[in-house]
Amino acid sequence: MRTAPAAGRGMTLIELLVVLMLMGLIAAMSVPLLSGGVSGSELKGAAREVAAGLRFARSDAVASRRETRLLLDLEQRTFRVDHDARTHSLPKQVELKLFTAQSDLVDEKTGAIRFYPDGGSNGGRITIAAGERKYEVDVDWLTGRVAIAD
């Protein structure tokens, strides 16, 4: 009776590395599909969309020489700007928080950030979060400057 040569008894190192690499690729592709959450690019896109809305509200206030508000609905995850009929929707999986002046809170789920004709604002912060990741869109009360911080 003869024994098989040593090379035929097991797997080579290259075969093991190929199998591990394939398993890693499959895991990397399937985790985002199973999580059902918001991707980092969607979250950042939502923050940029809110910042663009705030900048639009500020420029509208300066151009029209009247106060303009960005109204934020925390429950529906939508916002709109005074004097603009469009309503902008954010991803349903994000969590929104609004920090603004007490006088601009409509109720516990709706509030606004107000811009004045001189470009200033009442100031505030909108936090857009999904899990551990979050972006904060800040509005400076004196200058009305809008900035995104992560």
pLDDT-derived band at 39 (thresholds 50, 70, 90) equals confident
pLDDT above 70 coverage of the chain, percent: 90
What digits encode the pLDDT tens for the residues 120-131?
999 999 999 998
The answer to whether the CB of 129 falls within 8 A of the CB of 137 is no
Is residue 42 within a helix (H) or strand (E), and if so which, with residue range? Answer: helix 40-64
DSSP codes joined into one string, 108-135:
TTEEEEEE-TTS-B--EEEEEEETTEEE
Report the length, in residues, of the chain: 150
Task: Identify whether residues 31 and 71 lie together within a single domain.
Answer: no
Q: Residue 41's pLDDT is what?
A: 87
The answer to whether the CB of 115 falls within 8 A of the CB of 61 is yes
Task: Identify whether residues 18 and 80 lie together within a single domain.
Answer: no
DSSP count for the chain of H helices, then E strands = 2, 9
pLDDT-derived band at 132 (thresholds 50, 70, 90) equals confident
Instruction: Give the mean pLDDT of 71-93.
Output: 94
CATH for 49: 3.55.40.10
pLDDT-derived band at 38 (thresholds 50, 70, 90) equals confident
Instruction: Give the mean pLDDT of 86-91.
Output: 94
**Residue 69 forms part of a structural domain:** yes
What residues make up the domain containing 22?
A: 10-35
Task: Identify whether residues 143 and 73 lie together within a single domain.
Answer: yes
Q: Which of 124, 128, 2, 136 is nearest to 58 (CA)?
A: 124
Q: Please, which residues bridge with residue 110 across strands?
A: 73, 107
Say yes or no to pLDDT of 31 above 70.
no
**Residue 4 forms part of a structural domain:** no
Count of domains for the chain: 2
pTM for this prediction: 0.75
Q: Residue 28's pLDDT is what?
A: 84
Task: Identify whether residues 28 and 92 lie together within a single domain.
Answer: no
